[in-house]
Amino acid sequence: MSAVTRPHIDLADHAAVLFVVSALCLVGNTVGPGNPIVGGLIGIAILYAIVMAGLALAKWVPFYLPSVAWISIVGIVITLPGVPGQEWIVAQTGNVNFLILATPCLAYAGLAIAREEIEIAKTSGWRIALVAVFVLAGTYLGSALIADLVLSLQGA
Amino acid sequence: MEAVRRVASLWRLHVLVLAFTIAAELVGIVKIPIGIGAILLLPLLYSFVLGLLANPNITALGRKFIGSDEVKAATPLIVIAIMPFIAKFGTTIGPAIDKIISAGPALLAQEIGNLGTIILAFPIAVLVLRMGREAIGATFSIAREPNIAIIADKFTLKSKEGAGVLGVYVVGTLAGTFIFAVMASILATTGLLDIRALAMACGVGSGSMMAACSGALTSAMPSMEEEILALAGASNLLTYATGLYIGLFVALPLVNWAYKVLRGAEDEGAAQRDSADKPANRKQEG
């Protein structure tokens, strides 16, 4: 499909960046929620391995899926009930608080805002900002209302 | 070794992120009660704001710490930095697979809810704010990277549709986490909708928005953390898999059609005037 260009993935580059990010996550996981450092270290090492496996799949599998989708799939498959070592993996990654994993990412995001983006925000003005709020509210409410309806129809 | 050297050359950036992470985590979650519920402020919101404050493109203070080269280098890091988070979500889905399957019909059905952008935002953009074809790019999706690719492919990013999608992308990037944290915490604390429905709705195809959304939900209802994460993660995965196709084959044609219905005659005149000025800018219709 012409709308999708399959991005090139440099595994060495990703491995190096992920090492730094994982270290940041470990610090956050220890100072914030106060998780045990050794358990957190093992948990984050497992997440690191899942990410690298997902990236390798995204690079080499002949059909295209975004790397984040592959990473999700690897994480799901190795923690499915009945998979060998599943309990241990779930216990170890349980030492990592999920919210802390987003904290370094958002700091990079704040630092990465470019001049062009500030210009776009300025020229598009208040109308686009208002529309954006309704866009986000629309997708959230739309999905939540449908899910709520179907759940109650199911009686689940 | 080359890769390690490249990462090490950005040490100032990483040290700043380390400092912001520690500061944000030490403050922790803050709950602000409002009439109908509560707004939850999460560490990821503080670290984002700290990042903005230290951004040399935004504040003079930021210029003391890092240069614009480092700002440029930070952009590809965002995508990589969210990956451990995505992996963690995967590990919450596997063990809860039974619950996911029993929620399957709701999970699949709520993907259609992503078209809520058109139902809610499109009429406001066109009828209330009197926007032109920008409204098409702005409201057919939540304007994440795959959606930008669709618009770039169909209309180019220099078009009005392109301006619309880029505008919402930037606002979403700047304020999306806040908006999701606020919406999710208010809805979770008012208890109008099933918390599992709110969790599924968090999966909109953006890691940071899902983080803010599911973070607010779990903070509001800690006893359901595992189920919330599993459902949000599963829904997000579905959106990654289907979002591009729904955008391309359903949402964009739908919003294009709606635009013609609402603006038909009025816009044709405008389009002719536009194309008389700049023939090269004529857009493909339909």
Question: Residue A9 pLDDT more than 90?
Answer: no
pLDDT given at position B286: 37
- The CA–CA distances, whole Å, from B108 to B2, B27, B92, B197, B231 equal 44, 37, 19, 12, 11
Residue A121: pLDDT above 80?
Answer: no
pLDDT attached to residue B267: 54
Question: How many C-beta atoms surround the C-beta of residue B86 within 10 A?
Answer: 28
pLDDT at B268: 55
In the A/B pair of chains, how many CB contacts fall below 8 A? 441
- Which pTM was predicted? 0.82
pLDDT of residue B270: 53
Nearest by CB to A69, which of B71, B115, B240?
Answer: B240
pLDDT at A117 over 70: yes
Average pLDDT over residues A37-48: 95
B198 interfacial to chain A (CB closer than 8 Å): yes
Query: Hey, which residues 72-101 in chain B have their CB within 8 Å of chain A?
Result: 72, 74-75, 77-78, 80-95, 97-98
Residues with pLDDT less than 50, chain B? 273, 275-286
Residue B91 confidence (pLDDT): 93
Residue-level pLDDT at B282 = 41
User: Is the complex ipTM higher than 0.95?
Assistant: no
Question: What is the spatial distance between Cα B47 and Cα A129, in angstroms, rounded to a whole number?
Answer: 22
Check if B227 contacts A (Cβ < 8 Å): no
Mean pLDDT of chain A: 90
Is pLDDT above 60 for A72? yes
